[in-house]
């Protein structure tokens, strides 16, 4: 919350957005990655199951309105909160980034993974149903037909086609 509250509405925010629109590469780690989208995860808890209020959302810098990022993903067991966000906003693509790993986003349409961990993509575009709007008191949220991709270094993801590209190692000579 500190980054958007300090940068939002300032000449620095305008300069960042203008630079991004001109094709300047903008990067961030941890909170610096989380703050880039229009919708960001501001607070939350870990856990594998989506639950009501496992995460809170806030406006980010708005460099993308298609993707939301979560950081320290596997290290802090954050699948539940990314699933909760996607259940509440199925048009967004959830991107969970492990430590020592990067998700390089090009033109909001292509993500390439590099590093020693993985990137988890949560795609709610095919979601058939959820009870996210009815659940209260921190109870578990049901969600149906969400697609999850686990991508490692060298893998990529086509955001527009919602398709993972996993390169296969060349076959050994027989």
Residues that are catalytic: 30, 72, 99
Q: Which H/E stretch holds residue 86? A: helix 79-88
Locate 21 and state its tokens: 């629109």
Across 40-75, b (16+ Cβ under 10 Å) vs e yields: bbbebeebeebbbbbbebeebbbbbeebbbbbbbbe
CB 141: neighbour CB atoms within 10 A? 22
């Amino acid at each position: 919350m500190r980054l958007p509250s300090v940068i939002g509405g300032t000449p620095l925010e305008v300069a960042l957005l203008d630079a991004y629109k001109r094709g300047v590469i903008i990067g961030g780690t941890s909170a610096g990655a989380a703050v880039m989208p229009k919708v960001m995860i501001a607070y939350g808890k870990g856990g594998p199951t989506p639950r009501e209020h496992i995460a809170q959302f806030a406006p980010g810098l708005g460099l993308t309105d298609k993707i939301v990022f979560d950081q320290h993903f596997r290290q802090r067991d954050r699948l539940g909160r990314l699933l909760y966000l996607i259940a509440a906003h199925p048009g967004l693509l959830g991107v969970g980034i492990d430590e020592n790993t990067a998700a390089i986003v090009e033109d909001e349409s292509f993500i390439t993974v590099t590093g020693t961990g993985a990137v988890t993509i949560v795609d709610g575009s095919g979601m058939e149903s959820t009870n996210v709007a009815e659940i209260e008191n921190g109870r578990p949220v049901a969600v149906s037909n969400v697609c999850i991709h686990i991508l490692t270094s060298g893998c990529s993801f086509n955001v527009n086609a919602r398709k993972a590209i996993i390169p296969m190692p060349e076959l050994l000579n027989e």
